Amino acid sequence: MTFVEKMPAKTRFVIVTLFVLTLCLFLLMHSILTSVPQNSSVDTRPLYSSDAISSAQEIEITTSEAMYTLVRSGDAWTLREKAGFPARQESVSELLNALQVLTPAARSTALAERHASIGLSDPDEGGYGAAIRLDEQDDVFIYGRKDAAQYGRLRGDDQTWRLNEVLPPLYNPLRWISLGDDTLPRPQDEVTAISIRGGGQTAAILRDGENWVTDQGEVIPEETIDAAIFTSRFLEFEDVRREGLTRAYYTIYFDYAGDRMQAIELLQDNDAVWARFRFEGFGDDMQLYAGREFRIDELSALDLALEL
């Protein structure tokens, strides 16, 4: 009789059970270790070289909502599709700094059907990722977010990566520019006279004591004039585009002391109202208005289009 056979049955059962559990634990650990990607298999080189970032002249960004291009102009950047309007330099610097250090941190899925779950479906194919191309480079990277993590993949490659940095928001091109009065000052001076043309009306409106009176002697309610002046001083712009050939349906002129003048032309384009500006006597302060049109809300347009 062997040593094992001499053991009590209960002892043999315990030994066999421990052996089976140890074997199962070993197999489980082996499975986990072989299925989890190892850091040693991750190429942690930056996606972009320092030279590519520092010498980049254009950054083309394509999303499900828009395609737009940041263009270097000397030491500054502009947004080509928004009438070449100056970009927020701090926002572009934030993007460039992130791209320069962007590296893979861990492997993610290599299954194309799972790309959408981490925001990496190709926007050129109706997906919701954001594609970035530097200059005319063939390599285009697609980026997406899930929770707080940034993911990326090379277009045409199913392998995806969790990245070490989170990129700034890419979907709205307007985030790269400022259409506020920090870049587009609105005249705040006292208005001395107003003229209008449009809507079947042409009139000059002058201050006569406490009243605003047309050149035909008609008194205009002060609240009507105040609303137009207030709106001109605090207009909010929703978008910008290059000046086109659309004819203005209404123009209002504001005269100021010192032979200065502001003309606001209102244009109807489908369901949107756009404004075109002309200035005299203001110097270079209003230079960014030249050659551009700005979308305004309909209520502002109604305040500016005086009905006499």
Q: Residue 39 pLDDT more than 50?
A: no
- What is the model's pLDDT at position 34? 42
DSSP 215-254: TTSPEEPHHHHHHHHHHHHS----EEEE--SPPPSEEEEE
Q: For residue 195, give the nearest of 260, 252, 278, 258 by alpha carbon.
A: 252
Output 231 or 37, whichever has higher pLDDT.
231
Q: Residue 128 pLDDT more than 60?
A: yes
Q: Could you tell me the pLDDT band of residue 22, with boundaries at 50, 70 and 90?
A: confident
Tokens of residue 107, six digits:
């492997």
Q: Could you tell me the pLDDT band of residue 8, with boundaries at 50, 70 and 90?
A: low
Q: Residue 36 pLDDT more than 60?
A: no
Q: Residue 4 pLDDT more than 50?
A: no
What would the pLDDT profile of 238-291 be if each residue is shown by its tens digit?
999 999 989 999 999 999 999 999 999 999 999 999 999 999 999 888 999 999
- What is the model's pLDDT at position 194? 97
- What is the model's pLDDT at position 283? 87
- H helices of the chain, in order, are 3-6, 9-35, 50-54, 89-100, 222-233, 298-304
| Eight-state DSSP code of residue 30 | H
> What Å distances lie between residue 237 and 170, 184, 247, CA to CA?
20, 10, 20
Q: For residue 63, give the nearest of 13, 2, 133, 151 by alpha carbon.
A: 133
- Exposure string of 260-291, with b = 16+ CB inside 10 Å and e = fewer, is bbbbbbbbeeeeebbbbbebeebeeebebbee
Q: Residue 211 pLDDT more than 70?
A: yes
Q: For residues 61 and 87, give the distance between their C-alpha atoms in angstroms, rounded to a whole number.
A: 14
Q: Could you tell me the pLDDT band of residue 9, with boundaries at 50, 70 and 90?
A: low
- What is the model's pLDDT at position 17? 73
- What is the model's pLDDT at position 114? 95
Q: For residues 92 and 236, give the distance between their C-alpha atoms in angstroms, rounded to a whole number.
A: 23
What would the pLDDT profile of 131-178 be if each residue is shown by its tens digit?
999 998 889 999 999 999 999 999 999 999 999 999 999 999 999 999
Check: CB of residue 232 under 8 Å from CB of residue 186: yes
Q: For residue 276, give the nearest of 259, 289, 260 by alpha carbon.
A: 289
What would the pLDDT profile of 65-118 be if each residue is shown by its tens digit?
999 999 999 999 999 999 999 999 999 999 999 999 999 999 999 999 999 999
Averaged pLDDT of the chain: 90
> What Å distances lie between residue 79 and 9, 70, 86, 100, 234, CA to CA?
83, 5, 6, 21, 24
Q: Could you tell me the pLDDT band of residue 27, with boundaries at 50, 70 and 90?
A: low
- What is the model's pLDDT at position 45? 87
Angle CA 301–304–308, to nearest 5: 120
Q: Residue 6 pLDDT more than 60?
A: no
Main-chain dihedrals φ then ψ at residue 247, nearest 5 degrees: -80, 135
